[in-house]
Structure formats: structure tokens, C-alpha cells
Amino acid sequence: MKLTIVKPLMAVMALLAWPVSTFAASEAPGWLQERMFASGKINTVVMVVGAVLIGIAIWMFALDRRIGKLEKNAKDKK
């Protein structure tokens, strides 16, 4: 990755992670505590959502590299 892309990407990720701490302070609703937290299912939900988001991120980076290679090949042919 180019250094020019990494700095703004890190800044955006830091800004997106900032509000998470404010949401963590709020108390969970009663039904959520009874159903999800008590049975341990919330851990499974968090892991699945995390895996999906990581998979989408990996797919997007791979797609970006492929598109970059195609653009470079098209530019070289001209």
C-alpha cells in the first residue's frame, strides 16, 4: 500500500472507533441481557459480525489491487 493512502485510512479508522466507547457505557435492554448475554449467544453474534466485516475488508483490498493492476495494464498499452 502506498504511504499516502495509509495515513488517511488510519485517521478514518480512529475517528470511526471513537464513538464506540460512548455506546459501550449505555446499559443493555432487559431482554438483551436475559436472552443474549445470559446464554452466551452474544459472543457468537459478535464473532460472526466481526468475521463478516473482516472478510469484506479483505475482499475490498484484493479487489482494489486487481483493479489497480488492470488500470496499470490499460495505461501501459496506450
* Structure confidence by residue, pLDDT tens digits, 21-70: 555 556 666 776 777 777 777 788 889 999 999 999 999 999 999 999 99
Instruction: Kindly tell me if the per-residue pLDDT of 16 is higher than 80.
Output: no
Which secondary-structure segment (H or E) carries 25? none
pLDDT at 8: 75
Q: Which pLDDT score is estimated for 61?
A: 93
Query: Distance between CA atoms of 33 and 39, rounded to whole angstroms?
Result: 9
35-63 burial, b for 16+ CB within 10 Å, e for fewer? ebeeeeeeeeeeeeeeeeeeeeeeeeeee
Between 62 and 6, where is the model more confident? 62
Residue 9 pLDDT = 76
Where along the chain do its domains lie? Answer: 22-77
Q: Model pTM?
A: 0.53
